[in-house]
Amino acid sequence: MPEPGLVTAACRELGLLPCRVTVIGCSDSVIAAALAADAHAIRVPEPPQPDGRPCAPCAPTACRSVAGPEEAADLLLRH
């Protein structure tokens, strides 16, 4: 799973400060990596499991949660 260094390396390569970047993800590890790198994070729902069972609830984090990718994009465009 991603580490904060991956986020900071991507920011460095793109010439961006992490505090000006938003990472969109569905797993705790992606959200945690973004927050640890001082980036913003938006959580989208995890895709359904192949057997149709609901996914386990995600641990609470200091990030926004949205209903899906479209809502995440809308949130980014408004800010």
pLDDT in tens, the chain (79 residues): 689 999 999 999 999 999 999 999 988 899 999 999 999 999 998 766 667 665 555 554 567 888 888 898 898 888 7
**For position 59, what pLDDT does the model report?**
53
**For position 69, what pLDDT does the model report?**
87
**What amino acid occupies position 28?**
D
pTM of the predicted protein model: 0.70
DSSP 46: P
**For position 41, what pLDDT does the model report?**
93
Question: How far is residue 3's CA from residue 55's CA, in Å, rounded to a whole number?
Answer: 23
Domain count, the chain: 1
Question: How far is residue 65's CA from residue 60's CA, in Å, rounded to a whole number?
Answer: 10
What order of strands is seen across the sheet that includes strand 40-43? 22-25, 40-43, 64-65
β-strands 40-43, 64-65 pairing: parallel
Domain ranges, residue 12:
4-78
**For position 9, what pLDDT does the model report?**
96
